[in-house]
Homo-oligomer: A and B are copies of this chain.
Amino acid sequence: MTYQLHYWPGIQGRGEFVRLALEAAGASYVDVARGEPGDGQGLPAMAFYLEDQSVARPPFACPFLVDGKLVVAQAAAILLHLGPKLGLVGGSEADRLWTHQLQLTIADVVAEAHDSHHPVGTGLYYEDQKAEARRRAGEFRRERIPKFFAWFEAVLERNPKNAGRKLPHLVGARLSYADLSLFQLVDGLLYAFPRGTKRALKKAPRLAALHAGVGAHKRLAAYLASERRIPFNEEGIFRRYPELDG
């Protein structure tokens, strides 16, 4: 079974949360929009699902996953679907719901990270909202990142399976898609706000250990070192504008 992942070819963006799960699990997938139109891939293949009226359940936006007849959009919903298939979530209903809840909170931070450089609107250039971005990014760095990190740290601390372990997990004793997404969140924040994020990580040692440990996961490390990992850049969610890092 080869999954089709559809996402913008030039950025990590929200597609990366799905990509990390597929890569960590060693799943077979095609990154459709990065392929060649001559092979039935590329942007036209993605546009079909977004625009063609024959699609009964159309995605509002990418990323979306095509899994046989199923088309699933919204990164968190894709991971909800993939988690059990890829062995990246616990078996109990309670664990699955908790993992999903963690994922939705990660998605909230991701949205705030995006808005830190585009507070006035996505339709405008960063250059047209630099002053507003400075205000918003200041609050994000000073208030929001520490608050979210403190919560993730508490979650890691209260997971009884983490006692005595070097590499903590969010849920139970095994790697979940939420661990992978949390790795990506911290990685992105370290790129965008290196000073503010390093400062916040000092107060969240378990979260720092999770970031380091997940990044060293064998298949994930190979992916991160490969050309399949698109470098962070100033078109994505996490952007390095030094003036926003205080």
CB contacts (< 8 Å) of A140 on chain B: these are: 121
Shortest CB-to-CB span from A80 to chain B, Å, is 7
Q: Does A104 contact B (CB under 8 A)?
A: yes
Copies of this protein in the assembly total 2
Whether B119 pairs with A120 at a CB distance below 8 angstroms is yes
What is the interface size of chain A, counting residues whose CB is below 8 A from a CB of the partner? 44
Return the CB mask of A126-155 against B: 1 if under 8 Å, else 0.
Answer: 000100100110011001000010010011
Q: Enumerate chain B residues within 8 angstroms of A94, measured Cβ to Cβ.
A: 70
For window 136-182 of A, CB contacts with B under 8 Å fall at: 136, 139-140, 143, 148, 151, 154-155, 158-160
Whether, in the assembled complex, A81 has its beta carbon less than 8 Å from a beta carbon of chain B, the answer is: yes
The 8 Å CB contact of A60, one of B77, B105, B129, B135, is B105
Asked if B155 and A135 sit within 8 Å, CB to CB, the answer is: no
B119 near A100: Cβ-Cβ < 8 Å: no
Determine whether the beta carbon of B57 is less than 8 Å from that of A74: no
What per-residue 1/0 map shows which CB atoms of A93-120 lie under 8 Å from chain B? 0100110110011001001000100011
The reply on A20 being an interface residue by CB < 8 A is no
Q: Are B120 and A135 in contact (CB under 8 A)?
A: yes
Pairs of residues from A and B, 7 with the lowest C-beta to C-beta distance, nearest first:
A121-B139, A74-B104, A77-B101, A119-B119, A120-B135, A74-B101, A60-B105
Given contacts A80-B100, A111-B111, 5 further A-B contacts (CB under 8 A): A60-B105, A74-B104, A76-B76, A80-B97, A119-B120
